[in-house]
Chains A and B, each alone.
Chain A
Amino acid sequence: MSNDAQPTVNGPTPGGYAEALGELEQILTALERSDVDVDVLADKVQRATVLIAFCRDRIGRARLQIEQVVAELGDG
């Protein structure tokens, strides 16, 4: 199953962190229903994994930027 996840991994790149998080929430809501098809389930999990990585990446970048800006402010 996990091998078939590749196409869904290539879903549209989210517009930003908030959009990605929104999609993640939708996926979670959908997956937590009992009648989810196993195949769909695997695809959704793959997509969710991609979105989570996206979000982590965004947070990491933001942290880096903030740290740079604060460092530039000096100790004032």
Chain B
Amino acid sequence: MSQPSFDFADVDNGGDGGIPTLGVGELAEAINGALRRSFADGVWVRGEIQGWSERGPHVYFRLAEETADGKASVNVQFFAPSRARLKPLLMKHRLRLADGLKVRIFGHLDFFAPSGQLGLKMSGIDPRFTLGELALQRDDVVRRLVAAGLYDRNRQRPLAVAPLNVGVVTSLASAAWADFLHEIERSGLGFALKVIDVRVQGERAVAEVTAAVRALAGDPHLDVVALVRGGGGRTELATFDHEAIATAIASSPLPVFTGLGHEIDRAVADEVAHTALKTPTACAAALVEAVQSFRAATEQAWAAIAQRGASQLAAAASDVSATAQGLRHRVLAAVERADHRLGAANAALRRAPRMLDVEVRHLDAVAERVRLLDPAVTMARGWSITRTPDGRTVRSVAQLAAGDRIITTFADGTAGSRVEETTP
């Protein structure tokens, strides 16, 4: 939009050098006339809201911009009728106008004669511009966090198995805190909370939240940090898009849970948090669930240990009885074998007399051989033995001569006789 040129053609030209002299009122009127002509249809202006000030139903602020030539600003009046008319639009986009917000607004320029100030009477706003600006800012912050390696860092922090010691960053006056506390107390679990009361909106919100997150994150007695806030406009949620808060969360050595009370939007704080929940109640519930699942796991482990113990005992008992059974079988078998051997020995023993019979037969054979050799047996068959009177057995006729006396032995006696002749 080009700078409009003022046209004073309709002003009385009765002054020095053809330049008219006007009363202040006339000048004001002239200015307003010129403004109306140049900006007959109004004007769209973009800039950042500063010095937001509510006076009764009206609001006054400055719309400012940093330019290459320095700062530029214009006063804006946002009167009650326009506020009422724009309220549905702002609510629809969940925007709440406040300092620091970049906006594109529509209005008519007006020179206010009593104070001599030029102002813009605001009558319209482009919510998409603000949302786009917020998104851009948010994207920038996210990009820088990714580049610094912070974006995923907190998510990688391990959560304590039973996160019972919780540091809470919240506004104690808020419903968010009440909801969070209610959910924690309802669980009946032994949570210990350490709370830092902060402002979650307004100029000091970023600094207070950042400092609180840092302080709790460094507390060695805590397991987890929870950042909770009640519902609010998208523009207030922008506080949690701030790089300082996001950095504090991302670099926290403790896992950070968020419950920023927004069903639709995710703040950068949510993006970098360990776990992001939509509401303070959900945030508390997530912590409760973590502890409960630990408790359940513990109980399950105990049950498993007990079961294992019982089954091992049963197995041991069964081993013992199997061993005893085996022992019994083996003992019985051993006894049976011993009995069998004894039986065999007994049988062998009973066979001993038969061994004697063998001896008897052997002895009978020997006796028969002896009997056959007995000379008495031979002599009974008619054989006799001839001896000389001195008892020598006559084995050859050459031992005898005619006239020799000889004694003949028979089976049943002897006879003496004398040799008459010998024949070789």
Contacts and interface: CB of A to CB of B under 8 A. Distances in A.
Given A37-B393, A66-B356, A49 B370 contact: yes
Contacts of B367: 49, 52
Contacts of A27: 370
A73 B349 contact: yes
B364 to A, nearest CB: 9
B345 to A, nearest CB: 10
A6 B161 CA distance: 118
A67 to B, nearest CB: 7
Nearest to B360: A59
B203 interface: no
B350 interface: yes
B353 A67 contact: yes
Contacts of B409: 1
A45 B367 CA distance: 10
B218 interface: no
B40 interface: no
Nearest to B352: A66
Interface of B: 346, 349-350, 352-353, 356, 359-360, 362-363, 366-367, 369-370, 373-376, 385, 393, 409
A45 B393 contact: no
Given A2-B376, A31-B373, A41-B375, A24 B366 contact: yes
Contacts of A55: 359, 363
A24 B373 CA distance: 13
Closest 4 CB pairs of A and B: A48-B370, A31-B373, A45-B374, A52-B367
A15 interface: no
Interface in A3-51: 17, 21, 24-25, 27-28, 31-32, 37-39, 41-42, 44-45, 48-49
A68 B171 CA distance: 115
A76 B346 contact: yes
Given A1-B376, A52-B367, A38 B385 contact: yes
Given A1-B409, A24-B366, A39-B393, A66 B353 contact: yes
A28 B370 CA distance: 7
A31 B271 CA distance: 131
A3 B285 CA distance: 135
A76 to B, nearest CB: 7
24 contacts: A2-B376, A21-B362, A21-B363, A21-B366, A24-B366, A25-B366, A28-B370, A28-B373, A31-B373, A37-B393, A38-B385, A38-B393, A41-B375, A45-B370, A45-B374, A45-B375, A49-B367, A52-B366, A52-B367, A52-B370, A59-B356, A59-B360, A73-B346, A76-B346
Given A39-B393, A49-B370, A56-B363, A63 B375 contact: no
Contacts of A76: 346
A70 B373 CA distance: 40
Contacts of A2: 376
A56 B361 CA distance: 11
A10 B232 CA distance: 144
Contacts of B352: 66, 70
Contacts of A45: 370, 373-375
A50 to B, nearest CB: 11
